[in-house]
Amino acid sequence: MGRKILVVDDEQILVDTIAYNLQQAGYQVTTATDGASALEAARREIPDLVILDIMLPEMDGLEVCRLLRRENNTSTVPIMMLTAKGDEIDKVVGLEVGADDYVTKPFGRRELLARVRALLRRADYPSSSEEQPVQEATGEATRPGRELVAGPLRIDLAGRRVFCRGHEMELQPKQFDLLTYLVRNRGTVLTRDQLLQNVWGYDYVGDTRTVDVHVRWLREKLEEDPANPRLIQTVRGVGYCFRW
């Protein structure tokens, strides 16, 4: 059986088109045309991915996203926001409330399917064969297929859990992926475009604000003083580097 995807938009023709393309690609699809129906469907189906329009009647997509993130069963489900405006503020607000990705209407079938595959792929735990044991001179270590340890951080790869200074941190799927990639490449300065390509899984050139928003979230959760970060440092004019 294919992965379950919930598609939410008040334009019935668009919903039908997206659903058809996803079904042709092998996915199971549930649809909704308003916020209340979307919440009901998400709670009932527990989808593997939600494609959610921002502009919905009565309850908009941003509020639906907020509510899904607060509920245990849907708090980590990847959410892709749809916007017709193409305004950066809509994209940033969508990320702020917990979306993992966004796409601006109109969009093509190939772009949609590429983004869907990327989100589902990043939400899956990588196989243990992809992990190689490493022991750093600093005492940082990876345990193959199980954990990454760096300074105050312990990342449980199998359980997708993060512990910092002994406390478990609640991270959304893309935050977890970004942190894991930074830690695996600790000491290396990574450009925003590199992070977009390797964490988000496809070409995001020109939308580097996405990285900045997610880095800010991580700092707020992991740094003792987010205004003066020690773990995830900014390299001005280039990108970011995890140092410990």
Sequential DSSP letters for 120-135: HHHHSPPPGGG---EE
Please check whether residues 86 and 174 belong to one and the same domain. no
Domains held by the chain: number: 2
Please check whether residues 135 and 213 belong to one and the same domain. yes
> How many helices (H) does the chain have, and how many strands (E)?
8, 14
State which amino acid sits at residue 88.
E
- Of 89, 123, 157, which marks where a domain is finished? 123
CA distances 58 to 37, 50, 76, 122, 220, Å, are 11, 19, 25, 32, 32
Please check whether residues 117 and 160 belong to one and the same domain. no
**Contact between 52 and 8 (Cβ < 8 Å):** yes
pLDDT digits (tens, 9 = 90+) for 72-129: 888 888 999 998 765 666 667 777 777 888 888 888 999 999 989 888 877 664 433 3
The shares of helix, strand and coil residues in the chain, as percent rounded to the nearest 5, are 40, 20, 40
134: domain range? Answer: 130-242
Please check whether residues 105 and 176 belong to one and the same domain. no
pLDDT digits (tens, 9 = 90+) for 165-209: 989 998 888 889 899 999 988 899 999 888 887 787 654 444 678
Do the strands 161-164 and 167-169 form a parallel or antiparallel pair, or are they unpaired?
antiparallel
